[in-house]
Amino acid sequence: MKMKLRFAPSPTGNLHVGNARTALVNYLYSKCNSGEMLLRIDDTDRERSKTEYEESIKKDLNWLGIFWENTDRQSLRIDKYNNALNKLFEIGRAYRCYETPEELSLKRKAQLISGKPPVYDRQAMNLTEDDHQRFKSEGKLPHWRFKLIDQDVNWTDLIRGNCNYNMKSLSDPVIMREDGRPIYTLASVVDDIDHNITHIIRGDDHKMNTFKQMQIFQSMNWTLPTYVHIPLIHTSEGKKLSKRDKASTLDDYKKIGIIPSALRNYLLRLGWSFQDKEIFTLEESINHFNIEGIGKSPSKLDMVRILSMNEHYIKHMDESELLKQFIDFCKLN
C-alpha cells in the first residue's frame, strides 16, 4: 500500500511555527518514501474558521517549500461523521447526554471532594427512550459520547517507542456537539480511514487523543495507522510555545526578514540530526530525512541560531533571488 500522510490545520489563525514543523516532517517523510500528503482543512468551527486564514496557511506552506497532492475539508464531510456516529450508536459505543457544562463542573468538583477521579459517571446511559423523547419535547438536544473500554491501549510510536495507557482513568470523550458539529476525536478518525492514511504524524500533545481514537478504529474494525508523535517546541525559558509568544507564527518571521530556506533548514534541524551536516537544500532534506533521527525531548526555540542560519543563506544567495526576497520583505513592512 502506498504511504499516505496528512497535515490538518484549523483555519482559525495564522500558521504557527510548531504546526509548520509538523507539516514539514509530514512532507519530508512522504517524499522520502515516495508517498503522498493530503492537506485537510479542519474547519468545523464555524465561528472561528475564516477563509483568509485558510489561504494564509496554504501560502505559508508553499513559502516554506511544502506542497501536497490532494486537499479536503471537514465542513464538506458532515454526512460521513453522522454515518459513523449512527454506526457507533448501533453497536453500543456511542450514547446521548444532556448535562450542561455547569452540571458537569459540579459533578467533577463533587468527585474530587470525595477523593474520586473526575471521570464522567455515565449516568446518561441509564436514560430510557421516554427520557429522550421528553428532552426532545423540551427542546433539549443531546451531545454524544464515545464509550471507552476499560483496558490497556498501546501502540509502538516511531519516535516514542512503546506507549501504553489504561483507559479506566479517562472520561468517555464527547464526539458530537448538540448543534451537530463533530469533535476532532471522531472526525479525524473517519477522515483518516476514508483517505487511506497510513501514517499519522502530529504533535506530542495529541497522545491522549491517540489512545481514545485507537478504540474508535478498533470498534469499527478499521485498520490502525502507524503513529508518530513529535516533541513540542518550547520557548527559551522551557515553556510550551504558544500563539501569544513572539515569533510564533510564520508571519512573525517574515516581518523580521527571515527567508524561507533558512527557516525550513532550522525547523528540519530542530531535534533532528544527520551526521555533522548543518545546511540542507530541500533535495538533500528529502534524501537524508529519517523519522528515527528525531529526538524524544522538546526542543527550545533559538532565535540566535535562526538569525545565524538566515545570515548564511543570505550570504550565499544569488543577486536575483536576494532582490526578490528584499521586495517581499518590503511589502510586509
The catalytic site residues sit at: 243
Helix 260-269 vs helix 17-32: angle between axes, to the nearest 10 degrees?
80
CA distance 6 to 8: 6
CA distance 74 to 16: 20
